[in-house]
Amino acid sequence: MKKVYIVKYGEIALKGQNKPYFERMLLGRIKSALKSISVVEMYRSDGVIYVEAAESESEDIVLSQIRKVFGIAYISVAYETVSNIDKISDTALEYIKNLLIQKNIRTFKVDTRRGYKQFPLKSPEISSYVGGRILKGTNGLTVDVHNPECTIYIDVRKDKSYIYSEKIQGYGGLPLGTNGKGLLLLSGGIDSPLAGWMMAKRGMEIEAVHFHSYPFTSERAKEKVMDLAKIISEYCGRIKVHHINLLNIQQQIAEKCPENELTIISRRFMMKIAEKIALLNNCDALITGESIGQVASQTIQGLVVTDAAVNMIVMRPLIAIDKVDIMDKAKEIGTYEISILPYEDCCTVFLPKHPTTKPRLEKIEASEKALDVEKLINEAMEGMETITVNP
């Protein structure tokens, strides 16, 4: 039997006249994800993408690579046959016999979708006919249309039909590159890698900026961030990571500004620098992993003061998500175990004992007058290091 990977999408189907554009982008992303896989054929037809890999390729690896592509609702490993009722029945019978070798199945049903409306039998008739053939060709199986242990799906097209039993859920969203580009403020923590992943899921290409305080922060902390960028790149494609040393700025703030304002003023500097980098790299928005109320600088008052430092829109996809849910999602995408490694980041340097939680913009701006803001920003950017991470 010929094996074919059927890829179906959800939200893209609602795009109206723009649907072909999103389909082409999705097909391109799947091709990119499978660049290390020997692909025999790949094409789209009637709202479905079909992928045939070489027989030598591992099914698990092919599925894993396709599943990381945003825009996919689910993937099925199907067996292809010609659109003839007897051929469909023969293939379905052989398919379920193979399943019975692997699984203890006692009940089943057949679910048919007749995409080719000129096929001589209607969907219920196809299901009934194929189900009867399966009952005659196997022992111990019974039909249960309400709660079957196995559902045999039949997708009838004009020339070819497909038989499968599993729908492996994808991440959904929109194909990468269909919604501009964002610059992610990437720390070594749990939140920011997930924030970048979530915006990429909405079709946004990702670049990143990482702030460090070397030598107060170690080279290993930098490597940790690059390891996180590597994992994100498996979903988002190639990522440029811009590294900025914030130490001199933090020292100046510590010397010249009130201690309790150090965190919020440092954060405003990060945003200002990130905005400059974003504009230089044609990014449309900034992305942060902030979640309201999680730490002192992430109160609503703190976020208002932080946003006032820039003119560019700031995306915060985690803003209302509980920490436990953030941790669970980070585990799912594979960043959690690296994020919890005990290496410091710049936010732990010069940490005030009692940071302000309700800063007022006019007071913070008055404190910043003690600093040569533009000079400090330009000096920090002169020492910027950019590293490209490939999936």
Rounded-to-integer distance, Cα 111 and Cα 164, Å: 10
- Beta-bridged to residue 5, according to DSSP, are 51, 77
pLDDT of residue 347: 60
Question: In the chain, where do the E strands start and end?
Answer: 2-9, 39-45, 48-53, 72-82, 107-114, 142-143, 150-156, 160-164, 168-172, 181-185, 205-212, 239-245, 285-287, 314-315, 385-389
Rounded-to-integer distance, Cα 298 and Cα 285, Å: 19
Percent of the chain surpassing pLDDT 90: 85
At 164-209, the pLDDT tens digits run 999 999 999 999 999 999 999 999 899 999 999 999 999 999 999 9
pLDDT of residue 114: 95
Mean pLDDT of the chain: 93
Maximum C-alpha span of the chain: 87
At 279-294, the pLDDT tens digits run 999 999 999 999 988 7
pLDDT of residue 349: 61
Kindly report the pTM of this predicted structure.
0.91
Q: For residue 127, what are the contacts with CB-CB under 8 A and spacing of at least 6?
A: 109, 110, 111, 112, 154
pLDDT of residue 289: 95
**Whether the Cβ atoms of residue 216 and residue 350 lie closer than 8 Å to each other:** no
Rounded-to-integer distance, Cα 294 and Cα 200, Å: 23
Q: For residue 363, what are the contacts with CB-CB under 8 A and spacing of at least 6?
A: 261
- Beta-bridged to residue 154, according to DSSP, are 112, 163
At 301-349, the pLDDT tens digits run 999 999 999 999 999 999 999 999 999 999 999 999 999 987 666 566 6
pLDDT of residue 252: 96
At 60-86, the pLDDT tens digits run 999 999 999 999 999 999 999 999 999
